[in-house]
Amino acid sequence: MKRHVGHAETAPSSTPAPKSVAMAEMKKKKKRVSWSDDRGGFLSSSLDKEDVFEDGSIGPLLSLLLLVIPMIHLYVCPFTKVEESFNVQAMHDILYHRSNISAYDHLEFPGVVPRTFLGPVVVSALSYPFVTAASMLGASTFVSQYIVRACLGLLVIHSFRDFCEQVTWKFGHSTAKYLVLITLSQFHFMFYMTRPLPNVFALAIALRAISSWMQRDHRDFILLSAFAILAFRFELCLLLGLMLLEELLSRRLGLVSLLGWGTVGGVLSLGATVLTDSFFWQYWLWPEGAVLWYNTVLNKSSNWGTSPFMWYFYSAIPRAMAASLMLVPVGCFVDRRVWRFLLPPMGFVFLYSFLPHKELRFIIYVFPMLNTAAAVAISYIFRHFSKSVFMKLLAVGVIGHFLVNMAATLAFLVVSHHNYPGGVALTKLHDAVPQDTAHVHVHIDVATAQTGVTRFTQVNRHWIYNKTENLPPGGPDVMAFTHLCVGASSRPDVSSAVRPYRSTHNIVAVVQGFSGISLRESPYIKMEPKIYVLEKRSPR
């Protein structure tokens, strides 16, 4: 890491000063840390070296919480949804089927667009020793799902810590600590850290690239950006491209360096993804190129729903930031560097808003930067706490804002816990039917498969699990199964889904799931039947 270190001035003396005195003098004379050059960069920091270099880390307690909180989210919500299906199935197959590509899930259920195996390969390699140890101890494959998701979370946490360290050098030690506190108090970033989404794999690399940009390490910034864009999420060219444009316009980066490192990064990244994914998909393929063509050129992503142009600004960002959002403009006001720091992420969100299909996870990369602005505001408020009654009131408001964030996080977590009825249904089936029962043939319908069922959750090696789609309810093909996981029908009569089976099956379990929120009456979180677990009656 590049650190700006000043030189102490010492008076000539025939007698050397004691080491402690010399160090004290050095602290007093340190130059200010600058996120700038004389060609229009950011303004110099108002913090001196003693403020910034007090401690290079965020502290042991915050470091521990940064590990614990995402794992709590993982423990409360261990299942995955359809958006995570490819990556979680790929990690299972790499761990358990290895070179037997014909047994991989993606060949039977390829999905709408192909995805890269690079992320699953890396996480599977990290997880392998722990999965092997768990298997030797007799743990089920479901434990392995916890392990791979935890390893993914550790990768993101490591990248986030690197980002926090750059915030330390650029905005000060206290700002970095408040950044971590804000992030811990919010729901979405912590929740998504362990979710095997393409955006989360990209997040681990994008945070590294952003850290390199903050550090003015152009080589690493360009190489990491190329890898994140070409292998994982092409839309990152908007965010990282705006950062690159700023470096070019400020003349901190030359065109020759850009072309040189850009060529190296492009060739290596494309080579890695094309060679790896062509092997796993069994035909020549650049997955992110196929995704770009489908989503952007053909605009087929609109098939999954559209949102208004400003949706990210009035819905996604306020939900993710919670009460911390109100501190962002304060941070911009008290430190003029912040608004320039936020130009790339805000420009990214604006440009990405032109794509009609929108989801919060698509812009997850900007939340650490927005939280940094809020952290700058909090640091300023507490530094000036004793100067006026108004600042004291603001400090009380900051503490209250953390409480609001935590209350919102708790509510989101409770809702999310009830949002995976498919995974719960399969767990209830495993609990209800003795594991040594022979000739168990389970059919998993689309609603069940999309809300929590993965190959990791299919824990009985002697049972047959089948996800064949579009089987007529009550037809002979369905009746051939011993057990069924059937999604509830739409309201008003959710139980109509089980009518074809009333004379032939017993209901083993009815899984309730989240259906909405009502502020008028208790319970405020509304539940309704989502999945029915059925067992075929034995012939008399």
**CA–CA distance, 304 with 448 (Å, rounded to integer):** 19
Please report the pLDDT score of residue 205 as a whole number. Answer: 99
pLDDT digits (tens, 9 = 90+) for 142-181: 999 999 999 999 999 999 999 999 999 999 999 999 999 9
- The ranges of the chain annotated as CATH 3.40.190 are 421-536
Which is nearest to 152 in space by CA: 225, 201, 93?
A: 201
CB 297 within 8 A of CB 257: no
Q: Residue 8 pLDDT more than 80?
A: no
Please report the pLDDT score of residue 539 as a whole number. Answer: 73
Q: Cα(first)–Cα(last) distance of the chain, in Å?
A: 75
Please report the pLDDT score of residue 263 as a whole number. Answer: 98
Mean pLDDT for 468-493 is 90
| Bond preceding residue 492 cis, omega within 30 of 0 | yes
User: Where is average pLDDT lowest: 7-11, 55-59, 190-194, 264-268?
Assistant: 7-11
CB 172 within 8 A of CB 143: no
pLDDT digits (tens, 9 = 90+) for 222-275: 999 999 999 999 999 999 999 999 999 999 999 999 999 999 999 999 999 999
**CA–CA distance, 44 with 413 (Å, rounded to integer):** 41
Helix (H, G, I), strand (E, B) or coil at 433: coil
Tell me how far CA of residue 309 lies from CA of 203, 259, 397, in angstroms: 24, 34, 32
**CA–CA distance, 67 with 190 (Å, rounded to integer):** 10
What does DSSP assign to residue 34?
A: B
Residue 157 CB contacts under 8 Å (≥ 6 apart), including other chains: 66, 67, 70, 193
Strand duo 525-536 + 483-487: pairing: antiparallel
- The yes or no reply on domain 421-536 and CATH 3.40.190 is yes
Q: What is the mean pLDDT of the chain?
A: 90
Stated pTM of the model: 0.89
Please report the pLDDT score of residue 491 as a whole number. Answer: 62
For the stretch 233-238, contacts whose Cβ atoms lie closer than 8 Å and that sit 24 or more positions apart, written own/partner, are: 233/198, 233/199, 233/202, 233/206, 233/288, 234/288, 234/289, 234/291, 234/292, 234/296, 235/352, 235/355, 235/362, 236/202, 236/206, 236/365, 238/347, 238/348, 238/351, 238/352
Q: Residue 16 pLDDT more than 70?
A: no
**CA–CA distance, 196 with 16 (Å, rounded to integer):** 59
